[in-house]
Structure 1
Amino acid sequence: MGKKRKQSETQTAEPTNKDEGAPERPKRTLVGWKDKEEVAKQTESNPDSSSQVFRNKEKVMVTCSRRINYRYRHLMLNMVSLLPHCKKDNKVESKSSKGATLNELIELSGCSSCLFFECRKHQDLYLWMAKSPSGPSVKFLVNAVHTMEELKLTGNHLKGSRPLLTFSGNFEKDAHWKLLKEMIMQIFGTPKEHRKSKPYHDHVFVFSIVDDHIWFRNYQISVPHNESDKMVRGGLDKMTLVEVGPRFCLNPIKIFGGSFGGPTLYENPFYVSPNQIRALEKRQKAGKYAKKVKAKTRRKMHELSNPLEPDEFADMWRE
């Protein structure tokens, strides 16, 4: 039999606190680890600094209507890949009550803006840009759509990198263009130090106004490198832009004071709906057919009014 242990050995030792002398772990934030001592020093030096710090918490919800075309769905997915601060949501029925539904979804998802792709008659695409919940909102007709998949361009930038936004000079011409520029800057500009974005600027979003339409292009900033992946001397002067895609054109229809509705701030006087364009084309085709029918009736009336004289040699070979 084994020896019995002494009573002093059987007594359990009191647990020692290992973290007794260790420093307290700093609080973690979206930016990184936050040191309490540094924050205390900043607040002592400038007590109003905490209230003056601005953090861009812009978050965009991207969604579409039901029965959307496959090309327009691919365009929406391209925009989702270009905006790291966006959130994709389920499809929404495009009825008269879509505004209240979308505002509720935006509030539930914690977003402040929305890009809503609305498809009508499986062929017409409308884009809603809205700031929720107080507005304003803009309705565009989307034309000249070309997705990344069908363009097959050579550009290729880092996914999630922050874009540079460039605008043509005529955005400062009228008040409604200034409002659209501010909305585009807030929606398409990736917030600084966003957790899903990369700290690089390697592509450019170009917005230009031509014929009262907003044309969108996406270019990669290409810089020449050596074989050792180092920048060539003077390479910044040799930078080029390589198009990545997608491409589309926005025709503004109306600007509303609220979110997906409200008082009309601006209405495009030169806007013609796609239904009217198709109706005019049908009328032109119907006009061609009507001309043929009128020509046939005129020919018949001419033949009746000007009958041919009887031919005297008609019965010559009949026996």
Structure 2
Amino acid sequence: MTTNEKNSLTYRDAGVDIDAGDALVDRIKPLAAKTMRDGVMAGIGGFGALFEVPKKYQEPVLVSGTDGVGTKLRLAFEWNRHDTVGIDLVAMSVNDILVQGAEPLFFLDYFACGKLSVDTAAAVVGGIAKGCELSGCALIGGETAEMPGMYPEGEYDLAGFAVGAVEKSKIINGKSINVGDKIIGLASSGAHSNGFSLIRKIIERAGAKPDDDFHGQKLVDVVMAPTKLYVKSVLAALDKHGAAIKGLAHITGGGLLDNVPRILESGLTAQIKQSAWTFPPLFQWLQEQGNVAQEEMYRVFNCGIGMVIVVPADQEEAIKTTLAEQGETVYSLGEIVAQQDGQAQTVVI
């Protein structure tokens, strides 16, 4: 079959640049190489990535999670800040599987755009690789989809997928949590990747700009600070204290009020003391500029607490010490009490 060269179309004419995609893969490979760990059998470049479950597990249970970055991406586009949202992407998934006691093993990403900018995509994937490196998780695969007409130029979407493993006998499910257990909180690094539809509304109302001074930092640096990765510190605490860590809750969408109940049996309430910590300046500013009610703050944002841990009262101080030695800022938030009729499973008093 012959073609008329004058009227012949190419994929590039349709808006897809295969050469740009190949150039991005070349940029990604050395970034992914830094994340390799025991178990990786085949990574970037194949049709599928191969990973062997580490032999240290006697009865391994695989734990998987997937997430995105939400409308924080809108600020990444508007403020041209692409190097941190990749860390967000990793953190949102690996922190989720961590709460069941799982060690993250590998991660895959999905990057979709209308027109591929190699520099922008490389910045995003560089953040993904950094997040994987910080959490001991191998970046072994992913997909870059250039889809003309689906996304405006300069915009993209992200999804991430993490798989971890936990010994069957060491799965954390909250079932051993009892009245009298203590609640520990680990500080967040900012708003993480939740509540950004409201954050963007507040920024618009306040007329704030990315380069505005905010307590000695640029507002863009505070708002776009990447989600904190709790993997290495919490795994160290699990290794040392084992079953004493009865429950873990990642404070994501739904804030403190909706996430802590996910690990509680019926009849229990997490009673958190408002005086146990002070809202970081970002959350104080958001509440003031948006005139946001206190309960709404607790339900939308992490308010400075990114991870909640439930432990026996007699081991609270030892576990706090271990976490502090791992670099965490640790708070004694409150305790588990018997749920009263009509009472929510998380209350802030």
TM-score relative to the length of structure 2:
0.23
TM-score relative to the length of structure 1:
0.25
| Structure with a larger share of its residues in helix | 2
Structure of higher RCO (CA pairs closer than 8 Å, 6+ residues apart): 2
Larger gyration radius, structure 1 or structure 2? 1
